[in-house]
Amino acid sequence: MRQQIVAGNWKMNKTLDEGLELVKNVLERLEQRPHGPVVFAVPHPYLQAVAKMLKVRKGFHLAAQNCHHEEKGAFTGEVSADMLASVGTEYVLIGHSERRQYFKETNEQLARKVNLALAKGLLPIFCCGEPLAIRERGTHVGYVAKQLKAALFHLHEADFRKIAIAYEPIWAIGTGRTASTEQAQEMHAAIRVLVSKKYGKSVADDTSILYGGSCNAQNAPDLFRQPDVDGGLIGGASLKAEDFTAIVNAMK
């Protein structure tokens, strides 16, 4: 079912004590149950501690920032979907632009990650998006379509319905450039059309598509009012309780 979702991706930031204090402050500021799921995507060492904090509050959920594409084995330093599920993780980010860029993750690997996450009961937040050169050439819809087709469109409808998609305009993240509200809505609508062509209008209408391009407390209300923007995958603004709370409160 389509929901507005706000997911905060801490990336490689915060010590454990700082992270727990941040979660505590967000929970205190959000006394009422939020309009949609609020997800904390925290570093792997903090998952179990944050899970305990969130267990007592409805509407708040835990995500990992990544999982390995193999079920288990000799992969020193990696974390499996099974491990994540065993410590109370509910969601997992897959295909984040930084994982694609810095760790050279391929669409084939991402498809395997999606399969394993679903098999272990995790809900993938699948990231897609284009770099500046692709945007300037005007081929961004085709570029994102290729990502979705390669990593998600092998799924049966029942499994695809468990996926949330996060659109990341890579050219608008930490670059000083800004994607307009119109550009965000246009791309989200295009993604929904792609899903509709593959799975039908009912599935497309039920798919949550989050915006992940430098969403902040100032632009979140306008973004979340767009008909095809179903919340956000928040980076830097998720590290400040006041800013993250304001974004959560921007959900319809």
pLDDT in tens, 213-239: 889 999 999 999 999 999 999 999 999
Q: Average pLDDT, stretch 4-14?
A: 98
* pLDDT average, residue stretch 150-164: 98
Whether 168 is catalytic is yes
Catalytic residue (choose from 96, 105, 130, 140) = 96
What is the number of domains present in the chain?
1
pLDDT of residue 231: 97
Per the structure, the complete domain to which residue 11 belongs is given by: 5-249
pTM for the whole structure = 0.97
Average of per-residue pLDDT values in the chain: 96
In the predicted model, is pLDDT for residue 174 greater than 80? no
Q: What is the pLDDT of residue 213?
A: 86
Q: Tell me whether residue 96 is one of the annotated catalytic residues.
A: yes
pLDDT at 181 over 80: yes
Rg from Cα positions in the chain: 17
| Predicted local confidence at residue 75, as pLDDT | 98
The CATH number covering residue 122 comes to 3.20.20.70
Residues 141-164, mean pLDDT to the nearest whole number: 98
Residue 161: pLDDT above 80? Answer: yes
Q: Which long-range contacts (CB under 8 A, 24 or more apart) does 134-138 make?
A: 135/169, 135/171
pLDDT-based confidence at 154, cuts 50/70/90? very high
Report the C-alpha gap between 227 and 93 in whole angstroms. 23
Marked catalytic residue, from 68, 69, 168, 188: 168
The per-residue pLDDT for range 42-80, each reduced to its tens digit, is 999 999 999 999 998 999 999 999 999 999 999 999 999
Q: Report whether pLDDT(176) > 70.
A: no
Q: What is the pLDDT of residue 250?
A: 96
